[in-house]
Every structure is written in C-alpha cells, then in structure tokens.
Amino acid sequence: MLQSQFDPAARQALAVEAVAAKTRKDLSWQQIADAAGLSVAFVTAAVLGQHPLPAPAARAVAALLGLDDDATLLLETVPTRGSIPGGIPTDPTIYRFHEMLQVYGTTLKALVHEQFGDGIISAINFKLDVRKVADPDGGERAVITLDGKYLPTRPF
C-alpha cells in the first residue's frame, strides 16, 4: 500500500544521508537514475525528497547508495512536497530561477492562457530535461525543458 508523509523532516534527513552517500561513492545523478531505471530529473527529485520512487527503483537506489531497509521504505512514500521554505531563496542557482519567474512569469502566464485557455501546466504530469550545449559566442548554455500537461479550468 502506498503511504503518505505528513512531516517532511524524515524525508529531508534521508535526502541529506543519500547525498552524503552519493558523494562518498563519487556517483553522478545519472548513475543513480540508471540504477533506478527512470529519468535523471525524476530520480534526483525523488532522492531529494520530492517524489516517491516505485518499489523496484527505491530498492535499486538504496542498494547503490548503501541505505537500509527503513530508507528504502521511506523512498517509496509520497512526500510533503516543496523544497524551498518560504521567502526568497538565497542559494544563487535557485535564486536565478526565482528571478527568471519574477521577470518572465507573467509572460509565461499570458502566453499559456492565450494559446491554451484558462488553466495550468501540471507539475505532476511533467517531464524535466537539462542539457548543456555550446554557445556560438563561446562558453556553454543551459537548455532547460519544462514539459507539463495542460489542465484546463473547468467551470462547475
């Protein structure tokens, strides 16, 4: 039976333990995702406490990271989502995403509503991809794809 969490503290502690194991073992998120058999974005989010992993994936991740049976079970639970406590984020990378939404949030909203109508883009029926590409002007660029199902607002 799928279980749900009420308090995010246990899952946050597990994330700290899992990242420490990842570091000790010098693993990449891609290697962990490969063991789980799921996408790197989903597995990373799950290990960081934002998604439950299916039982076979939880067992594979726990085995790779050397986590115990309690951790395996916890990886399978539905977490209390939300990894950024209230207020403006202070981590520079996370802050830049916050800044992007401050600048382009209303633009995204306007374009989504114009093209799809009144509704939202799901963060549950969702895919995320991050790629590094060469910048023609030198250096590198990050290409981030947010691919969510459109869910129309339904009058009732």
One of 83, 99, 131, 141 is an active-site residue; which one?
99
- Asked if residues 124 and 146 have their Cβ atoms less than 8 Å apart, the reply is no
**pLDDT above 70 coverage of the chain, percent:** 100
Q: What is the mean pLDDT of residues 46-58?
A: 96
Among 2, 1, 155, 6, smallest CA distance to 80 is for 6
Sign of CA dihedral 142, 94, 23, 126: negative
- Asked if residues 39 and 52 have their Cβ atoms less than 8 Å apart, the reply is no
Question: How many CB atoms neighbour CB 123 within 10 A?
Answer: 12
Is 122 catalytic? The answer is yes
Which has more pLDDT, 1 or 52?
A: 52
- Asked if residues 57 and 43 have their Cβ atoms less than 8 Å apart, the reply is yes
What is residue 48's predicted lDDT score, i.e. its pLDDT?
95
What is residue 7's predicted lDDT score, i.e. its pLDDT?
83
One of 122, 131, 140, 154 is an active-site residue; which one?
122
Whether the predicted pLDDT of 115 surpasses 80: yes
H helices present in the chain, as ranges: 9-24, 29-36, 40-47, 55-65, 69-75, 92-116
Whether the predicted pLDDT of 1 surpasses 90: no
Confidence of residue 43 (pLDDT cuts 50, 70, 90): very high
One of 83, 96, 140, 141 is an active-site residue; which one?
96
Confidence of residue 8 (pLDDT cuts 50, 70, 90): confident
What is residue 67's predicted lDDT score, i.e. its pLDDT?
98
Per-residue pLDDT of 85-102, as tens digits, reads: 788 889 999 999 999 999
Is 140 catalytic? The answer is no
Confidence of residue 50 (pLDDT cuts 50, 70, 90): very high
Q: What is the mean pLDDT of residues 123-142?
A: 96
Whether the predicted pLDDT of 32 surpasses 90: yes
Residue 5 φ/ψ, nearest 5 degrees: -100, 150
Give pTM, 2 decimals.
Answer: 0.85
Whether the predicted pLDDT of 59 surpasses 90: yes
